[in-house]
Amino acid sequence: MKTLIKDVALYKDHVITEHQNIEVTDSVITGFPTSPQAGDYDEVLEGRSMLALPGFVNTHTHIAMTVFRSYADDMQLMDWLEKKIWPAEDKLDSDVVYAQTMLGIAEMIRCGTTSFADMYFFMDDVARAVEASGIRAALSRGLTGVTPNAQQALQENKEFYKTWHGKADGRITVMFGPHAPYTCPPDYIRQVVEAAGELGAEVHTHLCETKGEVDSIVKQYGKSPIALMDELGLFDCGCLAAHCVWVDDADMDIMVKKGVRVAHNPGSNLKLASGIAPVQDMLKKGIVVGLGTDGASSNNNLDIMEEMHLAAFIHKAHTLDPLVVPAESAVNMMTEAGAACLGYTDIGKLETGYKADITLVDREGLHWYPKNDSMSLLAYSANSFDVDTVMVNGKVLLKGKEFTTLDIEKIKAEAERTKEKLFSAL
Amino acid sequence: MKTLIKDVALYKDHVITEHQNIEVTDSVITGFPTSPQAGDYDEVLEGRSMLALPGFVNTHTHIAMTVFRSYADDMQLMDWLEKKIWPAEDKLDSDVVYAQTMLGIAEMIRCGTTSFADMYFFMDDVARAVEASGIRAALSRGLTGVTPNAQQALQENKEFYKTWHGKADGRITVMFGPHAPYTCPPDYIRQVVEAAGELGAEVHTHLCETKGEVDSIVKQYGKSPIALMDELGLFDCGCLAAHCVWVDDADMDIMVKKGVRVAHNPGSNLKLASGIAPVQDMLKKGIVVGLGTDGASSNNNLDIMEEMHLAAFIHKAHTLDPLVVPAESAVNMMTEAGAACLGYTDIGKLETGYKADITLVDREGLHWYPKNDSMSLLAYSANSFDVDTVMVNGKVLLKGKEFTTLDIEKIKAEAERTKEKLFSAL
């Protein structure tokens, strides 16, 4: 199967060049022909007026939490968790998680996302939804050491790795998901590190999301969460750390040394009043920073272009420096750096030999006029409804802003049915 | 002409009620019939799945600056102004301003905006575009006292008032536009106050946008810009003040006392690294705060729903309090408070006797599922591409996401032609 994306503006090597062509053979980018013949291809996608980018990467979410989108907002964190989220999560089942995951995946594809990192429960159902939908994902079972099912959860993550890692034409990778230092005591982290090490798996965790959490770890252990996790060997697994809002210079130096990749979730950090991560310092030190939406309950959408826009905006005001996180940095976080966060080595760039995860953005909206700088327009003016075409692993999932494979009305109905079921059980 | 909006979710008295009907007679809302007969109406708009809101208000922009959208970004403010914006603004003409204003108006209508406050040059051309497009606006001629044309500009603002105030079926109101304390010395402000007072006009200005500006005024006059403007009588005209990022308690007390209305521009304040306005304190004190996009050169779009989303987000993180600016406050800023900012007394609510400025938001996007709380979904998950129908003064300008009166391809072509003309003259 050979596909040509014809006469498109190409984002490559961090610059945009007009009137290029992209050749895809099966699941891989195989070249950028200068004079392609339409007859040589099984499918030709017209790229005129479009901008081709590496598929967007959502580096941190809890996908099935779509069920809690706008279910309870404008509350204090502990009230929200204790009165609303935890009692409802207790009633989750396989049926609810599958339906809500399909909803979340569809929303992400609509927004140009081609891969995501997830941490939640009922992960077999999440993996089934990833397999069925055609998206790519790095999945982990959320693990907490302080709950009665700590050992069972760890066992599930191991089994989940063995069953799903590398499956769905290689679209699924499995990580271990130790939730956070405040829910995973040192001995449990050591067990996770050992289990991940035995399988060669990487880890996905939350670190330094709130000030209170950092203060409490420092009080308990006499060191920062970053220093504690480093000491316990978590970073030696290869680590994707969500949030990192409250990290200092010494923490960041450890992160650089150990290659910790950061999932920056500006929307969630703003809405939950967690704070604003020192992203400009991380970038300066060379830390890999991607973008995440977090769960829909704390965002409340899964729109990664909105996160890019926020990342390009908020650090300027927070540091009172208009030069931090320029347009190209924000675009890079959503694409190449995001893919690196998930541990991919052949995804995140439009280059020969890379997997064909490609997002085409339509530049005909009024907010793309007049035609000045496309990189700036993408970072500061565009929105996710400009996404026209999404290809994952060489397969077109969205074209002309319409889904080509998913039954959206059914997905919405199932999301509604399972939500009703869940909430009526409360 | 009688129009029925049928079976719609109605935002009224700050709550949303499903399955309501809205009756519009000519330019005015004339009731909410419980059992309307389709035969009694000239036009019936199907409202099923939609949410009806008072038309959105953009309380601060420089509309023709669309020509500078993504023309020069990621620069220091003074570099940007001196090297890029001012030399280009010097070449603006009537043709460029009209075409770029039409582009900006079309973009705003597409985003659900039914009225806006503008401050710029070539205001006759802006007024012509408002008249032709069907949108509503409060227009002011930008006035600076430190430039050679200070007196001429003031004279133009007076003439502009006499020519256009109350025109275009009452859709145009005219204000005076003293730019800012640092560009308008006290004597010039006194002249503006006198001129506005003679005509009974209100004023639209910039106040306390950057810390540097406040420090410089305090150094020069021994008082804050707010105290200085109060002393000069500017607030006695009725004042819409853009930004107010760097105001303290004493300033806010003056603003309350004098009924100063604030145009909060979160996107511009973030991107230009101006800072984050103490909106939560303003709201607590009872100051009327609306939302503005500012010009497209510092935003870079004219999407007021994005500003609502930012307003609901950034103050939570800035104050580390998740309860500030809840969903309903953000929606109110975009609607009722926005209309009050522009000095309207019969716009900004869906109530009998109010002008029929109505925006219908489609709730069928994936990010509106599952169907939990609509107010929260609107503030935290929706985006401007959900806007389906826009009515201004009883006339439908957008329906099914398509423009009903404007020739969009021509508007885009004209924006492109005039941009090329402007930049080729540099």
The response to whether B336 counts as a known ligand-binding position is: no
B247-250 contact pairs (CB < 8 A, 24+): B247/B207, B247/B208, B247/B277, B247/B278, B248/B224, B249/B281, B250/B224
Do A237 and A268 have their domain in common?
yes
Asked if B319's CB is within 8 angstroms of A314's CB, the reply is: no
Q: What are phi and psi of A278, to 5 degrees?
A: -80, 60
Asked if A70's CB is within 8 angstroms of B316's CB, the reply is: no
Distance from CA of A110 to the nearest CA of B (A): 9
- Around B13, how many Cα atoms within 13 Å sit in the side-chain half-sphere? 2
Do A109 and A36 have their domain in common?
no
pLDDT at A426: 86
Percent share of chain B, pLDDT over 70: 100
Q: Residue A293 above 90 pLDDT? A: yes
Q: Please give the Cα distance from A34 to A15 (Å, whole number).
A: 18
- Residue numbers of A between 93 and 132 with CB closer than 8 Å to B: 100, 103, 106-107, 110
Cα angle: B60, vertex B63, B68; to 5 degrees:
120
In sequence order, the 6+-apart residues with CB closer than 8 A to the CB of A184 are A143, A144, A145, A146, A178, A192
Q: What are phi and psi of A157, to 5 degrees?
A: -65, -40
> Is residue B370 reached through a cis peptide bond, with omega within 30 degrees of 0 on the bond before it?
yes
Percent share of chain A, pLDDT over 70: 100
Q: How far is CA A327 from the centre of its chain?
A: 19
Residue A375's CB: how many other CB atoms inside 10 A? 20
Percent share of chain A, pLDDT over 90: 97
CATH label of the domain that carries residue A214: 3.20.20.140
Do A313 and A354 have their domain in common?
no
Do A233 and A116 have their domain in common?
yes
Do B258 and B332 have their domain in common?
yes
Do B105 and B21 have their domain in common?
no
Chain B interface disruption, residue of A68, A111, A313, most B CBs within 10 A: A313
Q: For tokens 């209508």, what's the residue?
A: B109
DSSP string, A150-187: HHHHHHHHHHHHHHHTTTTTTTEEEEEEE--TTTS-HH
Confidence of residue A81 (pLDDT cuts 50, 70, 90): confident
Q: Is A86 on the interface with B (CB under 8 A)?
A: no
In a domain, A264, yes or no: yes
Do B226 and B101 have their domain in common?
yes
Distance from CA of A362 to the nearest CA of B (A): 14
Q: Residue A217 above 90 pLDDT? A: yes
DSSP state of A85: I
Question: Mind listing the pLDDT tens digit for each residue in B23-57?
Answer: 999 999 999 999 999 999 999 999 999 999 999 99
Q: Please give the Cα distance from B370 to B377 (Å, whole number).
A: 10
Residue A57: its H or E element: strand A56-61
Instruction: Tally A–B CB contacts below 8 A.
Output: 209
Residue A85's CB: how many other CB atoms inside 10 A? 20
Q: Please give the Cα distance from A359 to A54 (Å, whole number).
A: 6
Distance separating the N- and C-terminal Cα atoms of chain A = 50
Query: Residues A296-319: what's their mean pLDDT?
Result: 97
pLDDT at A356: 98
Question: Which structure tokens are listed for A165?
Answer: 């890692």
Query: Residues B346-375: what's their mean pLDDT?
Result: 98
Domains held by chain B: number: 2
Question: Mind listing the pLDDT tens digit for each residue in B261-280?
Answer: 999 999 999 999 999 999 99
Return mean pLDDT, chain B. Answer: 97
Q: What is the ipTM of this complex?
A: 0.97
Q: Please give the Cα distance from B317 to B308 (Å, whole number).
A: 15
DSSP string, B55-82: PEEEEEE-GGGGGGTTTS-SS-HHHIII
In a domain, B184, yes or no: yes
CATH label of the domain that carries residue B39: 2.30.40.10
Across the interface, which of A302, A377, A385 has its CB nearest the CB of B385? A385
Chain A residues in contact with B103 (beta carbon < 8 A) = 366, 369-370
pLDDT at A78: 84
3-state helix, strand, coil split of chain B in percent (to 5) is: 45, 25, 30
pLDDT at B78: 84
- Residue numbers of A between 13 and 72 with CB closer than 8 Å to B: 66-71
Do A337 and A200 have their domain in common?
yes
Q: Is A222 on the interface with B (CB under 8 A)?
A: no
In sequence order, the 6+-apart residues with CB closer than 8 A to the CB of B426 are B87, B88, B91
In a domain, B48, yes or no: yes
pLDDT at B426: 86
Confidence of residue A79 (pLDDT cuts 50, 70, 90): confident
pLDDT at B225: 98
pLDDT at A76: 85
Question: Which structure tokens are listed for A406?
Answer: 């998913």
Distance from CA of A387 to the nearest CA of B (A): 12
Query: Residues B362-380: what's their mean pLDDT?
Result: 98
Residue B30's CB: how many other CB atoms inside 10 A? 17
In a domain, B408, yes or no: no
Q: Residue B77 above 90 pLDDT? A: no
In a domain, B234, yes or no: yes
In a domain, A273, yes or no: yes
Q: Residue A386 above 90 pLDDT? A: yes
Do A164 and A178 have their domain in common?
yes
Q: Please give the Cα distance from B126 to B64 (Å, whole number).
A: 8
C-alpha closest to that of B311 among B283, B291, B338: B291
pLDDT at A48: 93
Q: Residue B79 above 90 pLDDT? A: no
Q: Please give the Cα distance from A25 to A4 (Å, whole number).
A: 9
Question: Which structure tokens are listed for A342?
Answer: 């998930």
In a domain, A412, yes or no: no
pLDDT at B383: 96
In a domain, B207, yes or no: yes
pLDDT at A275: 96
- Strand B358-362 to B50-54 pairing: antiparallel
Range of the domain at A36: 2-54+347-403
Asked if B372's CB is within 8 angstroms of A317's CB, the reply is: no
Across the interface, which of A271, A372, A376 has its CB nearest the CB of B380? A271
Across the interface, which of B274, B369, B418 has its CB nearest the CB of A103? B369
Do B121 and B173 have their domain in common?
yes
pLDDT at A64: 97
Do B97 and B118 have their domain in common?
yes
Question: Which structure tokens are listed for A379?
Answer: 């970072």
Asked if A312's CB is within 8 angstroms of B310's CB, the reply is: no
Question: Mind listing the pLDDT tens digit for each residue in A111-167?
Answer: 999 999 999 999 999 999 999 999 999 999 999 999 999 999 999 999 999 999 999
Q: Which amino acid is at A71?
A: Y
Q: Please give the Cα distance from B405 to A319 (Å, whole number).
A: 44
Do A159 and A307 have their domain in common?
yes
In sequence order, the 6+-apart residues with CB closer than 8 A to the CB of A294 are A60, A61, A62, A242, A265, A267, A268
